[in-house]
């Protein structure tokens, strides 16, 4: 079945209900992963998908909650039989980041290679493609392009536009404030998968008032998510990357529907949408 699945819909706050942000596209036998939040391989396992089956991974930005399981997906892909190089697309800096992770595991991995004698050493090879001005990737009936979004001071940060058979369109926002670029890219999209910042309760032991202000500032409020979806005239709005991971779903739906009259889906881990 052709589908897109929300593997993880959470945020940096640990949650057993909402794992770290990650979205899986399955189409015409290909599998593409967008972001690699905490627990992504466990969610893949729940779908009976091996990491070795992934064709490429796409990273929106270099923030820990979106890339913490990058090495886990890489190494477990080798463990489960990947026979082709691991391919990563992402922002400038992701190559250095991945090389640093590999360096940290170098002795452990060399020991494992020597002792386990697995036949698929090619599966340990990798290719990292950093986005320069923009990214356009086409594989069979799938086209994927990058969208510059605004998550400053995290820069660059990207969303992704996925076009299937030159017709159906899915847009993944990544982390962003209200973004005109995103609205333009998502114009008329069949599905817009968008992050949302609901609230952050102040706790003086782990944050300052500036913490709350700054975190809210570089995400998108429910009201702005609704405005984005309306301006882009998307057919379906799917919410993910909830801050916080536990919230009043009906209140969230109400806040968004005041601005967007279309279909609103409150995402959950392992929710699949047929394409």
For the stretch 56-113, pLDDT in tens is: 999 999 999 999 999 999 999 999 999 999 999 999 999 999 999 999 999 999 999 9
Could you give all domains of the chain from N- to C-terminal order, each with its CATH number? Answer: 3-274 (3.60.15.10)
Q: Tell me the torsion sign for CA atoms 183, 184, 190, 191.
A: negative
CA 49 to chain centre: 17
- C-alpha 235/C-alpha 181 separation (Å) is 18
Percent of the chain residues topping a pLDDT of 90: 88
**Can you tell me the mean pLDDT for 210-235?**
94
The CA angle 253-60-90, to the nearest 5 degrees, is 165
pTM to 2 decimals? 0.96
Q: Say whether pLDDT at 202 is over 70.
A: no
Nearest-Å Rg of the Cα atoms of the chain is: 19
Q: How far apart are CA 212 and CA 203, in angstroms?
A: 9
162 to each of 64, 71, 126, 242, how far by Cα in Å?
A: 24, 25, 23, 22
Q: What separation in angstroms does the CA of 144 have from each of 23, 84, 125, 138, 230?
A: 14, 21, 23, 6, 23
Report the DSSP beta bridge partners of residue 33: 24, 57
Residue 138, number of CB atoms within 10 A of its CB: 10
Return the residue matching tokens 């916080």.
244
**pLDDT for 166:** 86
Edge-to-edge, what's the strand order for the sheet holding 86-90? 126-130, 86-90, 56-58, 30-34, 22-27, 3-8, 271-274
Q: What mean pLDDT comes out for the span 121-127? A: 95
Q: Which of 65, 69, 175, 269 is catalytic?
A: 65
65 is catalytic: yes
Rounded-to-integer distance, Cα 24 and Cα 44, Å: 9
Computed over every residue of the chain, the mean pLDDT equals 96
Residue 169's beta-bridge partner residues?
A: 163
Residues 86 and 122: their CA atoms lie apart, in Å, by 9
Question: How many Cβ atoms sit within 10 Å of the Cβ of residue 24?
Answer: 22
Quick one: pLDDT at residue 217?
Answer: 85
């Amino acid at each position: 079945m052709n589908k897109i699945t929300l593997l993880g819909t959470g945020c940096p706050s640990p949650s057993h209900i909402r794992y770290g942000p990650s979205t899986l596209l399955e189409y015409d036998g290909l599998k593409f992963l967008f972001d690699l939040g905490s627990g992504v391989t466990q969610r893949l396992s729940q779908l009976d998908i091996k990491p070795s089956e992934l064709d490429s991974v796409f990273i929106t930005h270099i923030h820990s909650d979106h890339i913490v399981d990058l090495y886990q997906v890489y190494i477990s892909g080798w463990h489960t039989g990947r026979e082709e190089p691991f391919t990563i697309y992402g922002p400038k800096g992701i190559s250095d980041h991945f090389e640093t992770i590999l360096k940290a595991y170098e002795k452990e991995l060399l020991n494992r290679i020597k002792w386990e004698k697995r036949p698929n050493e090619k599966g340990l090879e990798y290719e990292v493609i950093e986005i320069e001005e923009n990214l356009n990737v086409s594989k069979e009936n799938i086209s994927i392009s990058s969208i510059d979004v605004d998550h400053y001071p995290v820069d660059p940060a990207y969303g992704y536009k996925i076009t299937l058979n030159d017709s159906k369109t899915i847009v993944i926002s990544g982390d962003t404030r209200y973004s005109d670029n995103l609205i333009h890219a998502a114009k008329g999209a069949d599905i817009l998968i968008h992050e949302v910042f609901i609230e952050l309760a102040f706790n003086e032991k782990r944050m300052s008032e500036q913490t709350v202000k700054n975190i809210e500032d570089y995400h998108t409020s429910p009201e702005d998510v609704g405005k984005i979806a309306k301006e882009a005239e998307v057919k379906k709005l799917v919410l993910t990357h909830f801050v916080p991971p536990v919230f009043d779903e009906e209140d969230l739906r109400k806040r968004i529907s005041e601005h967007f009259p279309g279909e609103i889906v409150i995402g959950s881990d392992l929710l699949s949408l047929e394409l």
